[in-house]
Structure 1
C-alpha cells in the first residue's frame, strides 16, 4: 500500500554511509566498555536505585508496551545498532521475525555472527528498504537525529522527515505502531564558549547529525500518523550519559589501547557535555508513539483550519 512511488525522490535520505561508519565502525569491545553488556546505544528509562542494565531493560519493556508487541509479530528496527531492542523482543516478547537495518557494516557483522533466531540484519538505508509484507510494529531508537544535517532549512528538514514517515506508513500494518525515541532540541541554551566547544566536538563525533524540534516531527507526520503518546525524559539521558562516562573511566587504559587516546578523550568530552546539556534541558529526549491514520492525507492547511470556525 505504498503512498508514493518514490517518497524520497528529491528529499534528504539521512546520514551518508561514510559519516555513519566514521562514528560506528569502531571495535565492538570499545562500545561494550562504556555502553555495558547490553550494548544499548540510547538513553535508558530510569527509576531510583537502578543499575544501567536495569534501566535499559525498563526502556525496552516500555517500548514493547507502546508498540503493542505480541507473540508472533514482525518488527522492523530502523537504525538497529547492536540489535539490543529486537533481540529482547525476540527472546522475551516472543515475536516471530525481526529485521534490523543499519549503515554500520561492523555492527551488522557483529549481529550476524550471533546467529539470533528470527533476526535478519541488513546494511541499507531506510529509504531503500522493501519488506516482503507489512510489519506489525516499527521501532527506531535515536536514529532520527541522523535524518537531517546541520545547515538544513526547517522546510527541508520537515520534507526529509516526512519521507521517513511516508516510508514507514507504506510498510506498517493498519493496526501497527511506530515508536520513535529521539534527541530533540530543547529550550534556548547559553551561547558560552565552553558550550559551543562541546557542540563542535559532538558534531565531529556525530557527523551530519542535527536533531529535530518536536514541532518539526509532528508537522512531518501530519496526515500519516496520529501521535498517541509522548513523553520528554531529558533527565534520563543525563543519567545514562553519566553512567557511560563512569564506565569509560573505569576501563580507560583498555579504551585507549583499542581506539587511541584522542578518540577516547573525544568520546568522554562529548558524553560529559551531554550530562550537563540534558540535565539543563538544552536538549530533550522524546519518546513518541504513533498510530497510522486510516486514510493518509496531505498535511493540514493550518490557516484554513484555524479560520473555518469563523465562517459559522
Structure 2
C-alpha cells in the first residue's frame, strides 16, 4: 500500500496562508449543507469536522462522498466521533443535496447499476479478492471467536461474543434444525455458523464462499465436523437440502441477479424445507451504491430494499417471517472498531496508516448508516408454497 503521511507539520507542507483559519473556512454551499445536519466545519462538538487543508472542500464538491472518504484517508480532515457525524449526515439525507459533479457522479452510479450486471459469475469473485482476502489477521483481530462478520443479536447480550452466539443460535432455531438434516450455507464466511450448526444441532453442512482465504480458515475451524467448505458460486450448485441459510451474502448478489438467486434456492430446497435470508437492507429503493464503499470495501455490492425483495419473491416463495433488528448493527460495528483499535499496534507492522484510516472510515460510516435507520438488518424466513404445516417464528 502507498505510504501515508499525516499532516502533523502542516506549516512545512503548506504555506502559511493555506494553513490559516480563514483559508480553511468552507464555501457557503457546504456550510449550509452542514448546518442542515447540525454539523460544523472546525466546530467544538465531537461530531464536527476538523479541517486540516482546504482541498477537502473541492474534493467534496467534485466527487461527493468518494471525495469525502478519500480526503479522510489522505489525512485532510478528522472527527472525534465519526459515527455521530455520519448519523447526522445520513439522517438529513445530505448527499442527495450535493451540487455539481458530486451529484453527477451519483447519477452515473445509478445508471451503472440499472443497465449493467455488476455481479456476473465472472465478477462474483472480485469482492473476495479485494475485501475478504486482504488478510485473515485483520478479521481475527476484529471479530469475536466465532469469526462472525455480520450483525450480532443484542437483545440480551452485553458483549460482542454473546451477541454473535445469540445470533447463531437464533438462526438455527428459526430454521428448526434437526439432527441428520442437510444444511446449505450460501456465503459461509470463516465457518462460524457451519461449525455451530454441526456441533450443536447435529446437521451436515455444505458451506460455499468466493474467498480463498475464507475457505482455508473455515476448513481448519470446521475440521472433524460434518462440514464441507467449497469455493464456488451459488449459481453452480446442485443437490437437495433440508434447510438453506445465507448470512451477509445477499448484499453481493445484485438486483439483476435476484431472480436467479431465488430460483436457485427454490431448486435446491426440499418441498418442506426452510430458507433463512439474513441481509442488510435499505429503507428505500436506490439504484446505486456509495461510490467510496464500492471502490474501497465491497466491490459491486448492492443493498436491497424491502420493495425489491418482495417484488422478486412474488409467485416464487412464501414469506413466513420478516424480522428487523438493524439498530443492533451499529452496536456490532462499534464493537468491531474497539477490537481493531486495540489490535492496531500489532497490525501496524503489516498495514500502513492509510489502511487504518480507510478501515476506521468504513466502520464508522456504516455505524452512522444504521443509527440513522437508512440501513436495516433483516432475517427473512421463506418457504415453498406447497410446504405443509404452519411456521411458528421465534424472537
**Aligned with 1:92: secondary structure?**
helix
Q: Distance in 1 between matches of 2:130 and 2:119?
A: 19
TM-score (norm 1): 0.80
CA RMSD of aligned residues (A): 2.2
CA contact (8 A) 2:118 2:300 kept: no
Question: 5+ unaligned residues in a row in structure 2: which ranges?
Answer: 1-116, 388-395
Q: Distance in 1 between matches of 2:181 and 2:360?
A: 39
Worse overlay, 106-115 or 116-125: 106-115
- Evaluate the alpha carbon distance shift between residue 12 and residue 271 of structure 1 in structure 2; reply closer, same or farther with a 3 A threshold: closer
**What corresponds to 1:180 in structure 2?**
277
Q: Does 1:288 align with 2:360?
A: no
Q: Distance in 2 between matches of 1:212 and 1:51?
A: 29
**What corresponds to 2:208 in structure 1?**
101
Instruction: Write the mapping of 1:1-312 to structure 2, written as runs, cut at 5 A.
Output: 13=120, 16-95=124-203, 97-114=204-221, 115-131=223-239, 134-148=240-254, 157=255, 159-186=256-283, 199-203=290-294, 204-294=296-386
- Evaluate the alpha carbon distance shift between residue 70 and residue 48 of structure 1 in structure 2; reply closer, same or farther with a 3 A threshold: closer
CA contact (8 A) 1:237 1:285 kept: yes
- Evaluate the alpha carbon distance shift between residue 21 and residue 234 of structure 1 in structure 2; reply closer, same or farther with a 3 A threshold: same
Q: Distance in 2 between matches of 1:24 and 1:12?
A: 16
CA contact (8 A) 1:98 1:119 kept: yes
Runs of 4+ in 1 over 6 A off after TM superposition: none
Q: Distance in 1 between matches of 2:229 and 2:277?
A: 19
1:12 Cα offset (Å):
5.4
**Aligned with 1:183: secondary structure?**
strand
**What corresponds to 1:195 in structure 2?**
none
CA contact (8 A) 1:241 1:272 kept: yes
1:199 Cα offset (Å):
3.6
1:263 Cα offset (Å):
2.3
Q: Distance in 2 between matches of 1:236 and 1:73?
A: 30
TM-score (norm 2): 0.64
Higher RCO, 1 vs 2 (CA within 8 Å, ≥6 residues apart)? 1
| Alignment coverage as a number of residue pairs | 267
CA contact (8 A) 1:184 1:284 kept: yes
1:235 Cα offset (Å):
0.4
CA contact (8 A) 1:11 1:160 kept: no
Q: Distance in 2 between matches of 1:22 and 1:188?
A: 26
**Aligned with 2:318: secondary structure?**
strand
Q: Distance in 1 between matches of 2:355 and 2:172?
A: 35
CA offsets 1:73-107 (integer angstroms, 9 cap, x no match): 10011010101111100011111x10011000111
Question: 5+ unaligned residues in a row in structure 1: which ranges?
Answer: 1-9, 149-156, 190-197, 296-312
- Evaluate the alpha carbon distance shift between residue 61 and residue 49 of structure 1 in structure 2; reply closer, same or farther with a 3 A threshold: closer
CA radius of gyration, larger in: 2
